[in-house]
Structures are given as structure tokens and as C-alpha cells.
Chains A and B, each alone.
Chain A
Amino acid sequence: MSATVDTGAALALGDDALVLSHRLAEWAGHAPVLEEEVALANIALDLLGQARILLSMAGDEDELAYLREERAFRNLQLVEQPNGDFAHTIARQLLFSTYQRFLYEALAGDPVFGPLAVKAVKEVAYHQDHAEQWTLRLGDGTEESQGRMQRGLDALWRFTGEMFRPVEGLALNWQKLEERWLASVTAVIERATLRVPGGPRTGAWAAGAGREGLHTESFGRMLAEMQHLHRSHPGASW
């Protein structure tokens, strides 16, 4: 590859994909129906494929995934949030896949990330569609499903401001990206007869911390589970 890779940018995008992939894989054996079990695992697999390519741009993919400490990860705090109930996971998918789709679209002409972005955006379009369909179904469903979907969105809303803090090495119009994202998720939330959460999306409490290596409490436990096999048996293979 002729263009120089910005390692920080590759880690930011790669860690988003890796961490969300792991969270979704945690649903294996727990999804409400078999089709969803398969769907979430498929989405996790797409994200893992993206993560492998992105992390390989920054170094050795296995070392980066399995041997980095928590503070060295550059993913958004949104993607590390625990799965919660199914509606909570769908809320996280809606907020993130919409962002990732528009982000990859905007990176189509990038000399470094363009080839991956053009390829992956087609996969992410299916992830976004899946999340939208479920948001509509749960939001415009029973009182119980609507309540759960709303609580999921409310709980995760404060993590969405961080997505639009500029990442060094990605030449993008972040403000335009945010406007597109907000218009898209607002339309889906309203169609689903839900409320757009009213709380703040930015501010002192957040400080774009995930991209700077500051993570929320549950992330350490997630990493411990993700990394323990590799760390317990260094160099093992099958």
C-alpha cells in the first residue's frame, strides 16, 4: 500500500469493530430465537473481518487484540457497553451501525481506508437494516417491548456524542456526519413511536474518553474474558 497508514486511526476503527464483535458474540446461546442467534453472530463475524483488516494495518492483529492493556484500546465507549436485554443490544446496534455506515461512506475515497470502507459499507447496510427493523418492531410493539426499547435508547444516548469527535488521520467533515446520523436515527426512532432521548450527548462527563483510552467499568471484564485464553497459552494454535 503506497499511502501511509495512520496507526491511531486504524486502531480507532479496528477497535470499534473488534469490541462490538465480541459483545455480539456474547449472545451466542442466549438470543431470544434461533434466527436472531444466527443474525447477531453473522453481524459479529462481519465486524471481526473488518477488525482483522484494520488492526493488521496497525501491526500484528493477534498481538493488538489479545495483548494490549485496557488503556491502549481506542474504541468508542458505546461499543463496549454490556449487552443488557435484547432491546438494549438493538439500541446499541441502531446507534452504531448508522454511524459506521455513514462513516464508511465518507471514507470511500480515502487512499488508506477506502478499499475496506467500500467493501464493508455493503455489509453494514444490512446491519443497519436489521437494527431498524427491530427498533420499529419493538418500539411499535407491546407496552413491554416499547418500554424496553426506550430504556435502551435513553441509557445509551449519552455515549453517542463521542462518535463525532474528530479522529486524527481521518479527513472527514465530522459535523456533516453527525447531522446525517442524527437525522437518520431520529427518523427511525419517531417511526417506531419512540421518543428521541432528551439527555446530553456531549459534555464534561464524556470527554471523548474511549478514543483516548479511558473506558467504562465493564470493559476490563470483557477484555479479561476475550484475552484470557491467549494469555494463558501464549503461542498456542490448532
Chain B
Amino acid sequence: MVTLGDLGILRDLRMFGPGEVRVEITPTYTGCPAVEAMSSDIEDVLHAEGLPDVTVRTVLAPAWSTDDITAEGRRKLAESGIAPPRPQPADGPIPLTLAVRCPHCGSLETELLSRFSSTACKALRRCVSCREPFDHFKEL
């Protein structure tokens, strides 16, 4: 399972006295519709652990980047059939020409179908070798 920690969405977690915890998360995209679901999941889990007073705050800065996804997170994404993002260049344009590996067969012969896919954070690609379409977590 890919966790919020793996994705770099979980920014901070602090305990204040008995039973009080404050959590900070950051959205991948400003319009990410999953933010509310993630917040309430965090609350539910912490309540279930016996912490009654849970506050989840969304922070924007520093801006989330796909470089915040851990190595473990990348491995799990690929396992789930989603090609992980490539490392961000220090500056300059996004290198769309770098090969993206097919998460199904491992081929580097893949092509872009659309820069936008099932969610804001993914692009739609197709493997030329095994012909399977797949999502690619696009660099941000």
C-alpha cells in the first residue's frame, strides 16, 4: 500500500499533551479532490488509536514536488501499475523526451497519449512493446 508518507503528502505530525495531535499535509495539486478524504482518513485512524483531539491542516509552502515521493513510494507505485515520476531537473523545462518505463513489461518503448489522465497528477501513456496503456505520475 502506498502511504501518505511515501508520497510526501504528510508534512508534519506533532503531539501536544495527552490525546492531542496536529497533522500537516500538503496537496499534490491545488485542486486535488482527495485532500478532504485524506484528512478524514487521518482523523479516523488517529481516533481509532485513542487520540480524541486531532487537527489536520493543509499547507501549501513549500510547494509539493514529485521529488518528495520516496524511493519506497516509487517502487510501490510501479508495483501498482503506475509509472513513477522521473527526477526533476534543477531548473528549466520538463524533459518530456526522457524514456518512461512500462510498469507492466519493463519496456522503455512507451509513448505519450495524453498529458492528462484519470487524476490531475497523472499522464496517460501506452507501451509500444506490450501495447498496454498505463498511467504515469507526471513530474511536478
B and A form one assembly: yes
- Cβ contact of A38, chosen from B27, B62, B94, B116, cutoff 8 A: B116
What chain B residues lie within 8 Å of A45 (beta carbons)?
Answer: 29, 31, 33, 120
Complex interface bits, A11-52 against B, C-beta within 8 A gives 1, otherwise 0:
000000000000000000000000110110111011111101
> Which B16-31 residues have C-beta < 8 A from chain A?
27, 29-31
Q: Which one of A81-89, A124-132, A180-188, A227-235 is at the interface?
A: A124-132
With A45-B33, A50-B31 in contact, do A130 and B63 touch (Cβ < 8 Å)? no
- Of residues 104 to 140 in B, which have CB atoms within 8 Å of A's CB atoms? 113-118, 120, 124, 138, 140
Question: Interface size of A by Cβ–Cβ distance < 8 Å?
Answer: 27
Contact A42 B116 (CB under 8 A): yes
Instruction: For the complex, give the distance between the alpha carbons of A47 and B118 in Å.
Output: 17
Size category, B interface: 20 to 34
Contacts A42-B120, A116-B60 hold; do A126 and B33 have CB atoms under 8 A apart?
no
Q: Is the CB–CB distance between B63 and A38 below 8 Å?
A: no
Residue of B nearest to A46 (CB): B31
User: Among the listed B30, B60, B64, B124, which residue makes an inter-chain contact with A35, where contact means beta carbons less than 8 Å apart?
Assistant: B124
Q: Interface digits, A128-148 against B, CB 8 Å rule (1 contact, 0 not)?
A: 011000000000000000000
Contact with A along B82-109 (1 / 0, CB 8 A): 0000000000001000000000000000
By a CB distance below 8 angstroms, the chain B residues around A43 are: 116
Q: Name the residue on A nearest B124 (C-beta).
A: A35
CB-CB < 8 A to A35: which residues of B?
A: 113-114, 116, 124
Asked if A49 and B94 make an inter-chain contact with CB atoms under 8 angstroms apart, the answer reads: no
On whether A125 and B94 interact (CB within 8 A), knowing A53-B60, A114-B61, A116-B60, the answer reads yes
Apart from A43-B116, A45-B31, A45-B120, what 14 extra A-B contacts exist at CB < 8 Å?
Answer: A35-B114, A35-B124, A38-B118, A39-B116, A41-B116, A46-B30, A49-B30, A49-B31, A49-B32, A52-B31, A119-B30, A120-B30, A122-B63, A122-B140
- Residues on B facing A (Cβ under 8 Å): 27, 29-33, 60-65, 94, 113-118, 120, 124, 138, 140
Query: What is the interface of chain A, defined by CB distance below 8 A to chain B?
Result: 35-36, 38-39, 41-43, 45-50, 52-53, 114-116, 118-120, 122-123, 125-126, 129-130
